Amino acid sequence: MRTGTKRQLQLMWRFVFAGTLVGSGYSSLLNFASYGTPRLGMLTGAIHGFILSATIGSMEIFGTRTLPGRAVEQAPLLVTLAVKGLVYGSVIVLAELAEPGFRLLGLRSGQGPVQLVSIVFAFVVTLAFIFLLQVSQIMGSRIFRGLLFGRYHRPRSEERFFLFVDIVGSTALAERIGPVGVHRFLNGVFVLAADPVDDYGGEIYQYVGDEMVITWAEGDGRRDARPIACFIAIEAAINSAASDFTRDFGIAPRIRGALHAGPVIVGEVGGRKRDIVFHGDVMNTTARLEQMARELDRRLVISADAMSRLEGADQFASEDLGDRVLRGRTSPVRIFSVLGRVPSG
C-alpha cells in the first residue's frame, strides 16, 4: 500500500470515528433534553454520525484528487466554501430526512423541531470543519497546528531533512512566454508535486521563485529513504504530464534537487502576519548543494550526512562524488549523486 493511501485511510478512519462520537454525544444530549432519555439518541446519533462522516469524509479526502475535486480546490476560497457547503449540506438534509438510524433500529420517526435542530447542528459542524481544513491548506498543516497549539512560541531545536527542488530553465523560459506564462508553468509543476510530497509524508515549507523547499522531521524522513523516493516520484509525475506542458508552453519541465539534514532552530515569528520559520546552517548548506548540482549537472545531490541518516537508501543507485568545497565554506563536504532506483530482481 502506498504511503499516501495509508495516510488517507488513517485520516478517513479518524474523521469517521470523530463524526460517530460527535453524532452520538449530540443526539444523546438532544434526546435527553427533549424526551428525558439519552439511550436511543446515542444509538441513532452514532448511526447518523457514521453515515454523514463516512460520506462527507470520502468526498473531502478522496474526491479532492479527482478532476472536479481539483477544480473546486483551486477556485477562490468563497467559491470553494459555497460549493462544498451546497454539496455537503445536501448530503446532510438527505440523511436527516431519510433517518437511517431510526429505520435501522425500527423506531418511530423523529421528525419535527428536533430534526430541524439536528440539521442545523450538522450544517454548523460541517461548515466549521470545511473552513478549518481550507485555512490549514492555505497556511500549511505544520504552521496551522503550530499556531493553533502554540508549539513554537518558544524556539526549539529539531533534527530535519531539507529537500530543495529547483525547476530547470525557468529563467530562460520567462524571456519567451512572459511572467504570467511562467507563473502558470511553475504552478503546474508545484501542483503535480503536491501528491508525491503527501505520499511520502513531507511538508512543503515554502516556495521561493522557481524553487520548492520540502522538509521532514528526521524520524519521519528516515524511513524508506522518503526524501529520495519523494524526489523521484515528483520527477515521475512531471514526466507523465510532459506532453501537456509541451503543448501549452513549448517545453517540458525538468527538476534538480539537493538534500541535506541536520539541526535547525524552529520558532514563531511576526506580529499581525505570523509564520513558523527554520534557521540554521543546514538551510544554507542545502542551498549550496543545489548550486553544486547545477554546476555538476546532476539530478539530485545528497550530502553524506543526510545519506547516513536514511534507512533503505540502498534501493537507489548512487555515485560518490567525493569531497567538495561548497561556495562560502572552507571545510569540504562529501556528496553523492542519486542515479535512480535499483532495478528489482
pLDDT at residue number 108: 62
Q: Which range is least confidently modeled, 12-16, 131-135, 157-161, 325-329?
A: 131-135
What are the extents of the domains in the chain?
A: 3-139, 148-341
Report which of 197, 201, 200, 295 is spatially closest to residue 238, judged by C-alpha positions.
197
Measured CA to CA, the distance from residue 25 to residue 41 in angstroms comes to 8
User: How many Å separate Cα 150 from the centre of its chain?
Assistant: 21
SS3 content of the chain, % helix, strand, coil (to 5): 65, 20, 20
Chain segment 164-178, per-residue pLDDT in tens: 999 987 777 877 888
pLDDT at residue number 259: 96
Class of domain 148-341: alpha beta
Query: Between 105 and 235, whose confidence is greater?
Result: 235
Measured CA to CA, the distance from residue 112 to residue 92 in angstroms comes to 16
Query: Phi-psi region for residue 138, left (φ > 0), alpha (ψ -120 to 50) or beta?
Result: alpha
The pTM score is: 0.73
Mean pLDDT for 55-65 is 79
Q: Give me the chain's average pLDDT, please.
A: 82
Which DSSP letter does residue 108 get?
P
Radius of gyration of the chain (CA): 25
